[in-house]
Amino acid sequence: MELLTIPEAADALGVQVTRVHQYLRDGQLVGMRDKNGLRCVPALLVQDGVIVKSLPAVITQLRDARYSDAEIVDWLFRSDDSLPGTPVQALRENRGTEVKRRAQVAGY
């Protein structure tokens, strides 16, 4: 999985680094640590200079189900034969309704 450092994510989104930190706090984005311990954002969560559509809603649903950020990243990138593909691929293909439905069920 390709990761963007916080400054790289800010460049990709066309915002200040502080805004990316705010997105992470507010659940608009989800981050993880790379092998060096730096906080990063999976590159597939950014598409055409914006946060992937419906991602914040999915993050909120999974956080409400007590998923940690690491578990959310794992869930987004885990293959799901019923989609098909991964939830993040479906979100990038504008199939957010299907992914939100699965996220809603994931916590129960």
- Give residue 104's pLDDT band: very low, low, confident or very high (50, 70, 90): confident
Total domains in the fold of the chain: 1
Specify the pLDDT at position 44: 95
CB 83 within 8 A of CB 90: yes
Specify the pLDDT at position 32: 92
Averaged pLDDT score across all residues of the chain: 92
Q: 65: Cβ–Cβ under 8 A, 6 or more apart, which residues?
A: 103, 106, 107, 108
The model's pLDDT over 3-45, given as tens digits with 9 standing for 90+, comes to 999 999 999 999 999 999 999 999 999 999 989 989 999 999 9
26 lies in which domain range? Answer: 3-106
